[in-house]
Amino acid sequence: MPPKIRGMAMNSITNTTSVRRFTLMIAGEDTPDPQTERPPSGLPQERFLLGDRAPIAPILLLGQSDLVIDPQLSIACLQPVHLHATRDHLVLLNQNQLGLTEEESAALLKPILSLLEEDFKSPLLFQNASFYFIPAGPFTSLVTHSLDQSHGRNIDWWMPRDSDEEGVAKNWRKLQNEIQMLWHIDPVNEKREQSAQASINSIWISGIGKLADVEAPKCFQEIQSIYSDKPLLIGLAKFLKIPHSADLNQNKLDAGFAYADNPEPIWEILSTALDTKQLDEVILIDFPDGDVRERTFTRKALHQQSWMFWRKPKKRSWHNLVGANV
């Protein structure tokens, strides 16, 4: 069964148009759902790439392993984290701030592995420094939020909660508490505290879903190369069977797609490609106020025409383009 692409039959994923086009996506922030006053599951770029169900865990697993994954298997992503206590609430730290090594992560996994496999009723699938992946089993129905979405915030809003089956969130909190107690006395944390590093004092669950639930955006019908070092994009490229690379190939921009934390250098390359007519269009996708915004830039649109018409048009800056409403 071929992967699902929203709004289009999966007959082909080749660029059938003569327009030489590159798509650049930049990250966005979530906004609360006006009906529930709660943020949706997944950041806007995660929902854009994977569909409203945002099955992040199986795609992240694909992006970091060579495992063959059953598309109908629901998978959960578990991450060792630090919860920082403030005066009246707990804040989830960004995992990048922890500097957790592969060895530390493996050592922390040992005392909790039997608990995980007993409660999830499945063996662990994969582990590295930042992630543990396991079939979701009895926790499949949990509503969760990714660490990228939740870090730096009061966790009260972001804790897993029940959907259509009551008691699942309570069972997760029980398991989470058991793990926290084991890690509180773990030698890994003793060493980290001695070296003034944040302890690993909790575990975070998110991204529950299956590959069969992935619905890639319509624009991927034409994408022939994906450029990103992010596991989510690497996993999606593998799932859609699209060639991928961490580094942008400036000789192969047509039908390319890029997503990076720092998109400005990529934009400089793309704008030059428009100026030199290597590309006809650049599609810029961003998410103001959590909504998808897609804009098309041509060579002409790169330049601002002055009212002094005799002057050469000035090239628009990256910050000008990102902040523009057109």
Residue 41 forms part of a structural domain: no
Q: How far apart are CA 139 and CA 54, in angstroms?
A: 16
Task: Kindly state whether residues 229 and 287 are assigned to the same domain.
Answer: yes
- 8 falls in which pLDDT band (50, 70, 90)? low
Over residues 65-71, the mean pLDDT reads 96
Q: Of the candidates 217, 201, 289, which has an alpha carbon nearest to the alpha carbon of residue 259?
A: 217
With 70 as the cut, is the pLDDT of residue 311 above it? no
Task: Kindly state whether residues 186 and 155 are assigned to the same domain.
Answer: yes
Q: Which of 212, 230, 248 is the last residue of a domain?
A: 212
Q: Of the candidates 107, 290, 272, which has an alpha carbon nearest to the alpha carbon of residue 192?
A: 107
Task: Kindly state whether residues 208 and 223 are assigned to the same domain.
Answer: no
Residue 33 forms part of a structural domain: no
Contact 301, 320 (CB under 8 A): no
Q: Of the candidates 174, 259, 245, which has an alpha carbon nearest to the alpha carbon of residue 217?
A: 259
DSSP state of 224: -
Task: Kindly state whether residues 273 and 297 are assigned to the same domain.
Answer: yes
**10 or 116, greater pLDDT:** 116
Residue 46 forms part of a structural domain: no
For residue 257, give its domain range: 4-28+218-323
With 50 as the cut, is the pLDDT of residue 307 above it? no
Residue 112 forms part of a structural domain: yes
Task: Kindly state whether residues 112 and 223 are assigned to the same domain.
Answer: no
pLDDT at 304: 58
pTM of the model: 0.89
Residue 96 forms part of a structural domain: yes
In the block, residue with structure tokens 């005392």: 111
- 88 falls in which pLDDT band (50, 70, 90)? confident
Residue 44 forms part of a structural domain: no
Task: Kindly state whether residues 78 and 195 are assigned to the same domain.
Answer: yes
Task: Kindly state whether residues 15 and 160 are assigned to the same domain.
Answer: no
Over residues 174-195, the mean pLDDT reads 96
Task: Kindly state whether residues 237 and 194 are assigned to the same domain.
Answer: no
Task: Kindly state whether residues 60 and 102 are assigned to the same domain.
Answer: yes
Residue 13 forms part of a structural domain: yes
Residue 124 forms part of a structural domain: yes
Domain total in the chain? 2
Over residues 22-26, the mean pLDDT reads 96
- 194 falls in which pLDDT band (50, 70, 90)? very high
**What would the pLDDT profile of 92-131 be if each residue is shown by its tens digit?**
998 888 999 999 999 999 999 999 999 999 999 999 999 9
Task: Kindly state whether residues 9 and 157 are assigned to the same domain.
Answer: no
Q: How far apart are CA 94 and CA 149, in angstroms?
A: 10
- What proportion of the chain, given as a percentage, has pLDDT over 70? 87
Q: Look up residue 269 and give its two tokens.
A: 């390359």
pLDDT at 205: 97
Q: Which of 212, 244, 259 is the last residue of a domain?
A: 212
Q: Which of 192, 212, 232 is the last residue of a domain?
A: 212
**323 or 167, greater pLDDT:** 167
Task: Kindly state whether residues 109 and 82 are assigned to the same domain.
Answer: yes
Tally of residues, the chain = 326
Task: Kindly state whether residues 136 and 282 are assigned to the same domain.
Answer: no
DSSP state of 130: S
